[in-house]
A and B are shown apart, each in its own frame.
Chain A
């Protein structure tokens, strides 16, 4: 149970009245907010991550797994992805077969982790439901693609940035006030449109670029 629609505005009441679960309604409304946060972090702050899809899917997955286990699984997936890169480097495989092998390695490692969790009486870990789990596992494709396109180091940075964005997003959509506000006044979600128009036209330097170009900024008179 994620949200509570008892104290809802007219529209939400109407929608839930048609039998749509409250969680579904609120999560759908949260989605534009998350997308906007990701866009903001990219355009203004300069955190790249793996696009908009991956961080959002991770955010929703974290809701399912809980923060602790979700992050643990995320980190293990990335670690296995790194190890797989070294293991498979010498074989010079084509992209999809290579990815498939990496995915099986990830799947086995997750199995081992869940099993260990279970044996250590961490029932929460063992009982993590399969869909959020798969959502995090599939992230390895983005990771491998980034490794090939941009190199191992950049892929690591992107993975880390994805994790950071996901954590920010997670805390935002877990925020009780925000949930309540959205339930009461779902229209405020439309505010993301003008915000995104502004972001889409923003041509100033990103915060990260002030850091990147610091030598020039220091030097210029």
Chain B
């Protein structure tokens, strides 16, 4: 119990955030800059930091009446300049073809120029601004979702929050919009925050909303840990650079990754939330204390210090937290075939493949020579290999040949750009990193390939893959 309260010293609470960090570090001039998105956009752009391009802005109801809606492209985001918590942001994804100035929203519903006008009016009136004061609305280009994030994000664009203090990135999380958050990457509204190991840019633990610790993206079987964030070093650099030029000593930097543009700076945050600590299952105060007073001369140095201090033990940490082993893209495995025959081989770890497959020679060595031989004799040219026929082909094959061919566990119909084929499937036990997997492997000819075996998604549930691991 005493330990419990002792641990409290590592955590940054609201009182301490306000009194010890925001007040002394973020002067009101810098805060004003952060709270005004149009201003901070200009400021960041001037300093060479990539930001989403601004299309137009409307700052008075007079300008609204005169506004030419034809200048808007088919997709854009409409935002209040002083909005907070993602409120008041409206995103359209396309323009309706045969209508005049009608756009399509993420959920497929239509929105007319009149609706947009109403929304702008609400923004101008200050409905979404911090103190309810009148505000400016602006249109900016819509960011495109990175393919990597597609399975994890519901509708909106995920972003990365980095806390920077004394030119050192101290903590980071990946924020993923969910159904609960209505496509907004804001934890208060139910988005997911996945903690990030600062050294490698790989996600560790995750929280949804303010409290709920989760492992998988909602309604899916996609693990939230082990996601490797691209452009990681660039992202940290941008965050530190933004701190340096904005004068916010205690900064929450929001950075998104666009499919085409790469990392773009979204927002400066002068009052970063505290839930990032839950996402990382680590206290911020302890980290801030370690960084305080360090003399950091350059941006690169700051990034390095952060990476060294608050990352690196990812592998053991990950394995401990997730209960999964971290493996590289190529791993030594031991195969156990028929009658306990054992063979060691180098396997390619391929998350693009659904199932695992082994080379025909290797299969013969494992005692499946008869299976391979008999299968070769079958004429498969009569089957039309299309995904919609898969079930029929499988059923037909099993009925006809299950008895004839020894050890045939199943057949696999593989569709690929280099040619589709029907392959025999046998049961093989695979031992990888001391974990034994009972696997169905299809047999194919891999003699020209570097690895005689590939391990596919279906057998990788107990592992996390680190592409940098040798």
Q: Which of B13-21, B141-149, B388-396, B428-436 contacts A (4 or more CB under 8 A)?
A: B13-21
Is there a chain A Cβ closer than 8 Å to B156's Cβ? Answer: no
Contacts of A209 in B (CB 8 A): 8, 11, 13-14
Tell me if A174 is interfacial: C-beta within 8 Å of chain B: no
Q: Known: A94-B127, A95-B127. Contact between A216 and B282, CB under 8 A?
A: yes
A210 → chain B, closest Cβ, in Å?
Answer: 6
- Closest B residue by C-beta to A210: B8
Q: Does B193 contact A (CB under 8 A)?
A: no
Question: Please, which residues of chain A bring their CB within 8 A of the CB of B274?
Answer: 212
User: Does A202 touch B at the CB level, under 8 Å?
Assistant: yes
In the complex, identify which listed stretch (A19-27, A127-135, A145-153, A164-172) lies at the interface while the others stay far away. A145-153
Q: Does A92 contact B (CB under 8 A)?
A: yes
Q: Which of B107-128 contact A (CB under 8 A)?
A: 118-119, 121-122, 125-128
Closest to B321 in A: A219
A120 to B450, CA, bound (A): 89
The count of A-to-B residue pairs whose CB atoms sit within 8 angstroms is 83
Which residue from A92, A149, A220 sits with its C-beta under 8 Å from B87? A149
One of A149, A210, A216 near B277 (C-beta < 8 A): A216
Complex-state Cα separation, A145 to B87, whole angstroms: 13
Contact check, B188 vs A220: say whether CB atoms are below 8 A apart.
Answer: no
Q: Which residues of the partner chain B approach A94 to less than 8 Å between Cβ atoms?
A: 121-122, 125, 127
Contact call A205/B13, Cβ cutoff below 8 A: yes
A201 interface residue per 8 A CB criterion: yes
Closest to B17 in A: A203
Contact present for B126 and A212 (CB under 8 Å): no
**Quick one: given A215-B281, A216-B283, A217-B7, are A203 and B127 in contact (CB under 8 Å)?**
no
Using known A-B contacts A94-B125, A216-B278, A219-B281, determine if residue A150 contacts B8 with beta carbons closer than 8 Å.
Answer: no
Output the least CB separation between A14 and chain B (Å).
Answer: 40
A204 touching B122 by the CB < 8 A rule?
Answer: no
**Chain B residue with minimal CB distance to A199?**
B15
Cβ of A56 < 8 Å from any Cβ of B?
no
Q: Are B13's CB and A95's CB within 8 A?
A: no
- CB within 8 Å of A: which B1-17 residues: 4-5, 7-8, 10-11, 13-16
Docked Cα-Cα span, A220 to B8, in Å, equals 10
Contact of B4 with A201 in the complex, beta carbons under 8 Å: no
Contact of A43 with B by CB under 8 A: yes
Chain B residue nearest in CB terms to A94: B125
Interface members, chain A 44-86 (any B CB < 8 Å): 46
B14, B125, B189, B282: residue with the most chain A Cβ atoms closer than 10 Å:
B14
A46 to B274 alpha-carbon distance, docked (Å): 14
B283 partner, pick from A145, A204, A220, beta carbons under 8 A:
A220
Verify if A213 is at the interface (C-beta below 8 Å from B).
yes
A68 CB, nearest partner CB in chain B, Å:
34
Q: Hey, which chain A residues are within 8 Å of B125, CB to CB?
A: 94-95
| Count of chain B residues with a beta carbon within 8 Å of a chain A beta carbon | 35
Q: Which of A148, A202, A209 has the most CB of B within 10 A?
A: A209
Within 8 A of A (CB), among B191-222: 210-211, 213
CB proximity of A155 to chain B, nearest CB, Å:
12
Interface size class of A (residues with CB under 8 A): 20 to 34
Contacts of B119 in A (CB 8 A): 92
Asked, given contacts A94-B125, A94-B127, A151-B188, whether A206 binds B11 with beta carbons under 8 Å apart, the answer is no
Instruction: Name the B residues within 8 Å of A43 (CB-CB).
Output: 15
Q: How far is the CA of A213 from the CA of B277 in the complex (A)?
A: 8
Within 8 A of A (CB), among B241-273: none
Q: Is A148 a contact partner of B127 (Cβ separation < 8 A)?
A: yes
Task: Indicate if the CB atoms of A213 and B11 lie closer than 8 Å.
Answer: yes
Residue picked from A43, A150, A201, A216, most chain B C-beta under 10 Å: A216
Partner of A95, one of B7, B85, B126: B126
Cα of A188 to Cα of B4 in the assembled complex, Å: 36
Q: How far is B395's CA from A170's CA once the two chains are assembled, in angstroms?
A: 76
Task: Assess whether A217 is in contact with B211, with CB atoms less than 8 Å apart.
Answer: no
Pair A150/B188 contact, Cβ less than 8 Å: yes
Answer whether A92 and B118 are a contact pair too, CB < 8 Å, given A203-B16, A205-B8: yes
Whether B122 contacts A201 by the Cβ 8 Å rule is no
Pick from B8, B15, B118 the residue with the most CB of A within 10 Å: B15
Are B132 and A204 neighbours in the complex by a CB distance under 8 Å? no
- Closest Cβ of chain B: how far from A207's Cβ, in Å? 10
**B281 engages A201 (CB within 8 Å):** no
> In the complex, which residues of chain A have a beta carbon less than 8 angstroms from the beta carbon of B282?
216, 220
- A144, chain B: closest CB distance, angstroms: 11
Complex interface residues of chain A between 27 and 46 (CB less than 8 A to chain B): 43, 46
On whether A95 and B132 interact (CB within 8 A), knowing A216-B283, A217-B8, the answer reads: yes
Minimum distance in angstroms from A59 CB to a CB of chain B = 24
Residues of A within 8 A of B127 (CB): 94-95, 148
Provide 28 A-B residue pairs closer than 8 Å at the C-beta atoms, listed in order of the A residue. A92-B119, A92-B122, A95-B125, A95-B126, A95-B127, A145-B132, A148-B127, A148-B128, A151-B189, A154-B188, A203-B13, A203-B19, A204-B8, A204-B15, A204-B16, A205-B15, A206-B13, A206-B14, A206-B15, A209-B11, A212-B211, A213-B283, A215-B211, A215-B281, A216-B11, A217-B7, A218-B4, A220-B283
Given A149-B87, A203-B20, 16 additional A-B pairs, CB 8 A:
A43-B15, A92-B119, A94-B121, A94-B122, A145-B132, A203-B15, A204-B13, A204-B16, A206-B14, A209-B14, A210-B4, A212-B274, A212-B278, A213-B283, A216-B283, A217-B4
Chain A residues at the B interface, C-beta cutoff of 8 Å: 43, 46, 92, 94-95, 145, 148-151, 154, 201-206, 209-210, 212-213, 215-220
**Chain B interfacial positions (CB closer than 8 Å to A):** 4-5, 7-8, 10-11, 13-16, 19-20, 84-85, 87, 118-119, 121-122, 125-128, 132, 188-189, 210-211, 213, 274, 277-278, 281-283
Lowest 7 CB-CB distances: which A-B pairs, in order?
Answer: A203-B16, A205-B13, A217-B7, A209-B13, A205-B8, A220-B7, A95-B127
